[in-house]
Amino acid sequence: MVATTATDYPVRGTTLTIREITHRFYLEGQPLPVLDQISLQVGRGEFVALLGPSGCGKSTLLRLVAGLDFPSAGSVLTEGKAIEGPDPSRVVVFQDPTLYPWRTVWSNVALGLEARGLLRAHRERVEDALRLVGLTGFANAYPHQLSGGMAQRAALARALVNDPKLLILDEPLGQLDSLTRITMQGELVSLWQRAGFTALLVTHDVEEALFLAGRVIVLSQRPAHMKAEIVNTRPYPRHRGDPHLAELRHEVFAHLGLAAAW
């Protein structure tokens, strides 16, 4: 295991073990294999990216880790214990912000605390989370009044307010314009460094994976199996122009079978 977190930051994340997971869907009675023998060990406070072609089953893997679905075979463990269902210590940020349109930004962020009956005692955590993502002035806005980037920040705040040990990011920046995306990538890194959670990111953006993660797992076409593991030891904050990142990118493209396009 390569420790990629900056050591002067707190590490409160959990460990994650994915053990020989195989998963299939049934379409009109026909089994459709999605994941094939995937094993992965993620250390406390590590930032791991899963990279693969679209439709390869990355998001399915995240749903299994979140406890929203259960694998056909194999097991997922945190801190050595099998995952039995969704838990607020493992929070997902989806590609679509899916804020509740009938709630203001403030009450959207407060959702997790409210669901667990902690809101009364920890109201200040909502304000903190909003400040963390830079949405303090928008507490009373409704989701339809927000831009795409702001909505995704609100979704991030809704996850962070629960002080997760594992943050599961399902292409969270996929729908943003490229400028907002670059800004948010930087913010994500500093949030992760400050909070010390373990992060599991699904993306199909090679550059994003290399900019954010300490390890990039390259997955194959469906049914997904692990093709390669690329360790990125560059210190944070990283720079997009870093020649070492360009080399790694070349390597990743080769694993994805896109070496010619490079």
Partner 1 sequence: MSSSAVNEVSSGRTPARGFLGRSAARSLVAGLVAATAWLGVAVLTAFWSDTPESDWAYTGDLAAACGALAFAILLAGFAGVRFPGLHNVQRLSPWLIALALFFAAWEAVTAKLGLLPLPFFPPPQAILEVVIDDWARLTAGILASFRLLATGYFLGAVIGFVTGVAIGWSRLAGYWIHPVLRFVGPLPATAWLPLAFFVFPSSFSASIFLIALATGFPVTVLTWSGVAGVNSAYYDIARTLGASQRFLVLKVAIPAAMPHVFVGLFMGLGNSFAVLVVAEMLGVKAGLGWYLQWAQGWAAYANMYAALLIMAFLCSGLITLLFRLRDRLLSWQRGLVRW
The site for partner 1 (CB under 8 A) is made up of: 66-68, 85-88, 90-92, 94, 96, 98, 100-103, 111-112, 114-116, 142-144, 158, 162
Residue 134 CB-half CA count within 13 A: 11
Q: How many CB atoms lie within 10 A of CB 13?
A: 25
116 or 244: whose CB is closer to partner 1? 116
CB of 245 to partner 1, least distance (A): 32
45 or 112: whose CB is closer to partner 1? 112
Q: Which residues pair with 78 in a beta bridge?
A: 16, 81
CB of 144 to partner 1, least distance (A): 5
Q: Rounded to whole angstroms, how far apart are CA atoms 70 and 94? A: 18
- Closest to 151 in 3D by CA, of 102, 115, 197, 101: 101
| Per-residue tokens: 72 | 């056909």
- Closest to 89 in 3D by CA, of 145, 155, 39, 15: 15
CB of 78 to partner 1, least distance (A): 13
101 or 137: whose CB is closer to partner 1? 101
CB of 34 to partner 1, least distance (A): 18
CB of 95 to partner 1, least distance (A): 10
Judge whether 226 and 219 are in contact, CB under 8 Å: yes
14 or 220: whose CB is closer to partner 1? 14
44 or 63: whose CB is closer to partner 1? 63
Where does residue 66 fall: left (phi above 0), alpha (psi -120 to 50 degrees), or beta otherwise? alpha
* Sign of the Cα pseudo-torsion (138, 143, 146, 149, in order): positive
